[in-house]
Amino acid sequence: MSPKPLRILILGSHGGLGKALTRRLVGIGEVTSWSRADLDLSQLDLIAPKLEAQPFDVLLNPAGMTSPDICEARQDEAMIVNMEAPERLATCCQRLGRRFIHFSTDYVFDGSKTALWSEDDPTEPVNHYGKTKREGEVAVLAASPQALVARVSWLFGPDKPSHPDQIITKALEGSALTAIADKTSAPTFTHDLSDWITKLMVDHPEVCGPLHLGNEGTASWQEWGLEALKIAEEMGLPLQTNRIEPLNLAESTFFKAARPPHTTMSTARLTHLTGIQPRAWQEALRDYLHGKTALAFSLSRS
What is the tens place of the pLDDT at every residue in 155-185?
999 999 999 999 999 999 999 999 999 999 9
Whichever domain contains 40, its CATH number is 3.40.50.720
What is the tens place of the pLDDT at every residue in 43-67?
999 999 999 999 999 999 999 999 9
Pick the closest to residue 169 from 220, 222, 252, 232 (CA basis). 232
Average the pLDDT over 126-150 and give the result.
Answer: 98
Residue 213, in any domain of the structure = yes
CA distances from 135 to 10, 28, 59, 140, 239 (A): 21, 32, 19, 9, 43
Domain count, the chain: 1
Virtual torsion, Cα 261, 267, 268, 270, nearest 10 deg: 150
Residue 234, in any domain of the structure = no
Is the separation of the CB atoms in 222 and 246 below 8 Å? yes
Nearby residues of 184 by Cβ (< 8 Å), 6 or more positions away:
114, 218, 219, 220, 261, 262, 263, 264
- Reported as type and span, the H/E element at residue 29 is strand 29-33
Residue 99, in any domain of the structure = yes
Q: Is 107 a catalytic residue?
A: no
Residue 295, in any domain of the structure = no
Catalytic residue among 100, 117, 129, 288: 129
Predicted TM-score of the model (pTM)? 0.95
Virtual torsion, Cα 47, 52, 53, 54, nearest 10 deg: 90
Residue 56, in any domain of the structure = yes
State the greatest distance between any 2 C-alpha atoms of the chain, in Å, as a whole number.
Answer: 63
Q: Report which residue type is found at 12.
A: G
Residue 300 pLDDT level (bands cut at 50, 70, 90): low
What residues make up the domain containing 110? 6-160+187-217+260-280
Residue 233, in any domain of the structure = no
